[in-house]
Structure 1
């Protein structure tokens, strides 16, 4: 009688059955496969295991387990150190290979190396697969003589011309070795401290959301993606972060759809890949300035708290911060504005803002979060590092009638017209009845302070937006 061979598919940021090279390779390499997820205690100690993402993760794992059971399998869940738990599972089922998606954060790279060494010590092999987390693997395109692109536009030209791998179908059957112990699949109801309106997670939810968005709002995405009140963005970033959707599959489907909206969406996926290739080459950029500017950041606890709570006195900034608190998500235009306000109007270290976002964002991805914060702060890859986004100018462009502000700031719901963006200009009697603060700082004073700090007095390019 022939003994069945087994392999392990270690799920990390690829919690899906469709277009998953990790699962496909594990299935092709053995008779049986262990679909394994480890509740990594190292993530918790590193400060990345926060309630909003934990709740979304629980949905993802529950949906993944359900999909596997429909195919005759199940998800094996363990808790602890990833290297130790994976080696234990491989030993229990006799697996010679463990399959894993390549990732770019410093933590992911260290985890991968520890796992590789631990498996090798047991005579087993780690197989790492690219183009699972991103559409194009980091390092797939590079400029002459350098290990990564530092500017997006030339990267995007090369990215657009590079061929993507094909899309893989979800498996029809998954045979799992018998007798493997598993913890219960986590449930969202077990998580406390979750923001009130965190979206549902899971591959089924992600695929349904994309299909609905592709059939409608994608068509106007190029024109409306910055419209705060319309809220017609895809909201797929949490699904990309947890890998319930494949970036490769999304690019292929968007290109088949065609049109300006699809092109604009693909460009955003390329931005995501861009940040991943930067972090892959410069892991320390998660915590250190990619391009130091000699900043001597201010640190005012009261101002930071006001920014976090949506009480800065600038309604568009505050509305975006309230959305973050309520949903664990924020419109991209809001992210740009709130980050600019913290780093360039209040002149507070971008790391303070990045940490707050990571504490709340369901899509809190180290590559995109940290490098987007650096882009706005002018210490990253922005070719105009000294631009300052003006909340009033942004309001006129992207929330002209105040709909977005009124949605998130009920204390300003009855303020008429454009006054909602400048409530401090209301007559004294009307202003006195509002439970809303005066601005923390004048916009000109904040911009002047920023320019002086960087030695840029008199520069006109800092006040363009």
Structure 2
């Protein structure tokens, strides 16, 4: 009897899963395999919020497979060594995996290819599993990737997507292949108290609810910080609990301005994946150097710590940072404001901010986190690298009545807009009533320092 192995990575679902579909159609038995590789921990990606969410995803994946007569096999160890061990134990003929774009994923795929070919086992890498359009499929003349979003978006929209696959009805797993216990969310220490539940079932429920009830107002409401009018699907897309192909296709079927605005955001995800696939060094090195001499002294470290803790003295910045700490997630407008403040107002290296975000974000991945940070720092794909977001104006525009600030900065609960965005303008007893820090820096001073540094660079 023929046996196939499906190696799950960032694609923890059974619906619209090309590797699983190919394995089920091509073999009598299938080993659905997930490996907890210590190399991921050593690389610093085993943050508590993602480990807790991962545990939910694996438990849900196992339930989905059991509903189809199968089960998830979990192993711990080096990915290549464990895959080869399972192949030998199950006497498998082939291995299927989704294509990744990071340097780590690409190196893992090449190592697997060499090892499996040496053992006489066929190896298949499937595109359009983790992204809607495979990285590298769309390229401009004379380059291996698109450096600017708008021309990429035009090409991406014109690219026909494959039809989403149904989940398999039956998955028969060899009884001889052992599995370790699935990780439990309850065993993870240090997760954010407001962390969302993970798993494909929850992701599909959210996607359906979003498209049927909320997406129509997304175009005009997605920047409303207090309105919470975004899909919150990013963690499920990051873990592959929701298929990006299916999300795009269902949004297109819904139609309308809100759906188009949502699809544009899904395209941004593909855009950064294709940049990273072509330039994997951009995870740590500047895509376009501005020769910044970032602040690194003791004062800068104190400012960085205040930013991490949400006590910069700028309420919209602090509210967003506290949301991140509590939920392991941050509204996209908050991400833009906090990143601009750190890199351009405080003039601190974007890598410090990216590192902190990765320590907390449940949706934190290399492509979207690092390259979005570079975009805001002006070292990435932004066509306006020296733009600076004024946090007061951002607060007044995107949290006009101050509800978002008061939700996350309870020290200012008694203040109404516009004063809640500028509490330092209060005087005397009015100011003393609020136990909230003064601003770390005058915005005009930060702007002048940034402009002078960029001109000198």
Q: Which moved more, 1:445-454 or 1:427-436?
A: 427-436
Alignment correspondent of 1:309? 309
DSSP 3-state at the match of 1:7: strand
Alignment correspondent of 2:364? 364
| 1:292 equivalent in alignment to 2:289 | yes
Where do residues 57-76 of structure 1 align in structure 2 (5 Å cutoff)?
Answer: 57-76=54-73
Alignment correspondent of 2:425? 425
Write the distance in 1 (CA, Å) between the matches of 2:121 and 2:209: 43
Write the distance in 2 (CA, Å) between the matches of 1:311 and 1:11: 40
Write the distance in 1 (CA, Å) between the matches of 2:319 and 2:270: 29
| 1:118 equivalent in alignment to 2:115 | yes
Query: Post-superposition shift, 1:428?
Result: 2.0
DSSP 3-state at the match of 1:34: strand
Alignment correspondent of 2:211? 214
Alignment correspondent of 2:239? 242
| 1:170 equivalent in alignment to 2:161 | no
Write the distance in 1 (CA, Å) between the matches of 2:356 and 2:386: 23
Determine which of 126, 130, 133 is the counterpart of 1:133: 130
Write the distance in 1 (CA, Å) between the matches of 2:399 and 2:456: 31
Determine which of 255, 259, 262 is the counterpart of 1:262: 259
Alignment correspondent of 1:92? 89
For residues 419-448 of structure 1, give each alpha carbon's deviation from its aligned partner in whole angstroms, at most 9, with x where no partner exists: 110010112212223221110001110011
Determine which of 98, 106, 110 is the counterpart of 1:109: 106
Relative to the length of structure 1, the TM-score reads 0.97
Query: Post-superposition shift, 1:372?
Result: 0.3
Alignment correspondent of 1:397? 397
Write the distance in 2 (CA, Å) between the matches of 1:182 and 1:417: 56
Aligned-pair RMSD on alpha carbons? Answer: 0.9
* 5+ residue gaps, structure 2: none
Alignment correspondent of 1:23? 20
* 5+ residue gaps, structure 1: 458-465
Write the distance in 1 (CA, Å) between the matches of 2:359 and 2:117: 36
Alignment correspondent of 2:452? 452
Write the distance in 2 (CA, Å) between the matches of 1:349 and 1:428: 37
Write the distance in 2 (CA, Å) between the matches of 1:13 and 1:322: 27
Runs of 4+ in 1 over 6 A off after TM superposition: none
Query: Post-superposition shift, 1:395?
Result: 1.0
For residues 301-341 of structure 1, give each alpha carbon's deviation from its aligned partner in whole angstroms, at most 9, with x where no partner exists: 11000000000000000000000000000000000000000
Alignment correspondent of 2:385? 385
Counting matched residue pairs gives 454
Query: Post-superposition shift, 1:140?
Result: 1.1
